[in-house]
Amino acid sequence: MASRGEDFRTIWLKPDDPTTVQIIDQRLLPHEYHVHDLRSWQDGLVAIRDMYVRGAPLIGATAAWSLYLAALSGANSEVAVREAAEALLKSRPTAVNLRWAVDRILALVDRAAPGTALAELILADAQAICDEDIEISRSIGTHGVALLEAISRKKSGATVNILTHCNAGSLATINWGTATAPIYFAQQRGIDVHVWVDETRPRNQGSQLTAWELAANDVPHTLIVDNAGGHLMQHGQVDIVITGTDRTTRCGDVANKIGTYLKALAAHDNDVPFYVALPSTTIDWNSRDGLTEIPIEQRDAAEVSVAYGVIDGKPVHVRTTAAGTPISNFAFDVTPARLVTGLITERGICEASEVGLLGLFPEMAAS
Ligand code: MRU
């Protein structure tokens, strides 16, 4: 069981079986490590919708691989791909990488000459999306590590305390992660780092995924309940907050896992820098105002009322609420750009604003 190293990937083609894509069933971590087979685009849809895979970049990659599986199915590959694309787009509304990946594959299909073997074409692009994502995360790491180096210098080498929310690690991407890449690079450079890991209710991506992968990579970390961050910041225990994002508008508003906004408010009140690490595939160049334009996914009440854990070594699910308790379950919130100190992208770090983003991505000015 591992989540480390150059060779780690969260999604791959099954060796010796090009009709099957494999993923880690993240619903079962950290108590079980199970590799799950996707044999049809419908399997891919279920994996995205029911969060076997999650995290914006990995959701996008899984959609691309699902379209490959669609092209393998049915008498008419193109019809199957278009049908799958339509269904996949509805599976998780907030993470914009899903639409980005589907649009990229559909553009490929549109350009293909009649008679082209679509499955081969999409296979190559799904692989490329994954390879590119790894390089993007690596670049986010090389830019973001400068922030941690600067804090370390300022503290004369004392421990740099980073707070993160949800899982924006290797498991949310193909490898390295977005928020975690600078941390992994800092560790490689010998910087003394420690990560405060927000539990991240209700799905516990912090306690069940981030803590697991930081442990696998020997990164010192401590799990905290979601409400502890403000207290730690008031007492000087947090040097920097780094989160990921599921969709960032061209003006720098950041949608991320529910609770991110409260961390940004606490950081602002305590002069703690609040950074968001993101691949450009997570920028929604078509939206400006996050509060009104980003759809916020609402998920099943059972995510709030039922907890996953272990009893006597056996993974179990238990209901923690009184039966019938009314529940609402908003999965994401929006942090306004004014609360974001900076965006860490694969092209560098910029202000969370249209000017900042266009400075790094000038080719998007006309979009
Ligand atoms: O609901 P999830 O687990 O798919 O949400 C993912 C997140 O919100 C993460 O915090 C992450 O920052 C975005 S993906 C790198």
Weakest mean pLDDT among 109-118, 125-134, 200-209 = 109-118
Domain that holds residue 220: 144-364
Is the model's pLDDT at 4 over the cut of 70?
A: no
Q: Name which of 22, 59, 85, 111 is nearest 247 in CA terms.
A: 59
Which of 77, 109, 131 is the endpoint of a domain?
131
Mean of pLDDT values over 357-362 = 98
Tell me which of 52, 94, 210, 246 to substitute to probe ligand 1's pocket, judged by most ligand atoms within 8 Å of the beta carbon.
246
311 φ/ψ sector (left φ>0, alpha ψ -120 to 50, else beta): beta
Which residue has the least CA distance to atom 15 on ligand 1? 168
Q: What share of the chain in percent tops pLDDT 70?
A: 99
In a shared domain, residues 320 and 194? yes
| Residue 312 Cα to ligand 1 middle (Å) | 30
Tokens 């009649």 locate to 114
One domain for residues 191 and 105 = no
CA of 324 to the centre of ligand 1 (A): 28
- Expressed in angstroms and rounded, the spacing between residue 114 Cα and the centre of ligand 1 is 38
At 2 the pLDDT is: 57
**Section 237-244 average pLDDT:** 98
pLDDT of residue 171: 98
Does residue 3 belong to any structural domain of this protein? no
Cis peptide before 220, with omega less than 30 degrees from 0? no
> What is the pLDDT, as a whole number, of residue 6?
77
Residue 349 has pLDDT above 90, yes or no: yes
Residue carrying structure tokens 């619903």: 27
Q: How far apart are CA 8 and CA 252, in angstroms?
A: 31
Q: What is the mean pLDDT of the chain?
A: 97
Give residue 115's pLDDT band: very low, low, confident or very high (50, 70, 90): confident
Domain count, the chain: 2
246 labelled catalytic: yes
**How far away, in angstroms, is 255 Cα from ligand 1 center?**
9
Q: Both 107 and 160 in a single domain?
A: no
Share of the chain above pLDDT 90, in %: 96
Of the residues 246, 253, 284, 333, which is catalytic? 246
Spatial separation of the C-alpha atoms in residues 97 and 54, rounded to whole Å: 11
Identify which has the larger pLDDT, 222 or 114: 222
Least confident of 5-14, 95-104, 174-183: 5-14
Q: What is the DSSP annotation of 207-265?
A: IIIIHHHHHHTT--EEEE-GGGHHHHHHTT--SEEEE--SEEETT--EEEETTHHHHHH
Whether residues 35 and 62 fall in one domain: yes
Instruction: Point out the least confidently predicted range of 46-50, 246-250, 311-315.
Output: 311-315
Contact (CB, 8 A) for 195 and 203: no
Considering the domain boundaries, does residue 4 fall inside one? no
User: Tens digit of pLDDT for each residue in 275-300?
Assistant: 999 999 999 999 999 999 999 999 99
Which residue reads 């759809």 in tokens?
A: 295
> With bands split at pLDDT 50, 70 and 90, how would you rate the model's confidence at 1?
very low
Are 24 and 79 members of one domain?
yes
Candidate of 91, 162, 205, 303 to mutate for ligand 1, largest count of ligand atoms within 8 Å of Cβ = 205
In the numeric block, the tokens 């509805």 are attached to: 90
